[in-house]
Amino acid sequence: MRTTEERRGPEIWLRGPVPAPEPAPGQVQVGGSHAAVAGPRRFSWLATHGGAGATTLAAVYGGHDCGRDWPGPADPPSVLLVARTHASGLESALRVLEVFRRGEAPRGLDLDAVVLVADAPGRLPRPLVQRVRIIESVIDVYRVPWVNDWRLGDLSGARPRETEALARLTAVRR
């Protein structure tokens, strides 16, 4: 005989097959269970100065182009800073990095990386390489080479092979 401490709730017996519950939004059915589906991560491209290339990068790699404004509440909170590789562009990237370091960026933003866009074809002069190394010492840096077609407004061609890591980060397939 069972005591009240040993009692369990009522047992329910069902006849026949039991339908699987419907998956919740954002889930798919895998076998007999539900699994969350992660969509591609979206980013907000934040230009650290005018002419940085955030609009072009957002068009080629997807995401939200913030221009020089902070992402708003409806924008993706994952931020990619964009700067050109000339002296003033690298300095502006360092200034915005310092804003994040001091905790002065808007709450809820997640700084993921800095994307440096070549300001001219060819190699960087040594003083600029040294500034890039400073940025690389504190955060991931993705480099985008000079793309003459982009300068002419043609974004339809293949992405530069040097940017495959950036394409993987932004989950772009082409």
**Is pLDDT above 80 for 157?**
yes
Per-residue pLDDT tens digits for 125-141: 999 999 999 999 999 99
What CA–CA distance (Å, rounded) separates 83 from 138?
Answer: 16
pLDDT band, residue 171 (cuts 50/70/90): confident
Determine the pLDDT at residue 32: 54
Q: Is the entire prediction scored with pTM above 0.85?
A: no
User: Which runs of consecutive H residues, i.e. helices, occur in 21-125?
Assistant: 54-61, 87-101
SS3 content of the chain, % helix, strand, coil (to 5): 30, 20, 50
DSSP SS3 for 43: coil
Q: Which helix (H) or strand (E) holds 152?
A: none
What domains are defined for the chain? 44-169 (3.40.50)
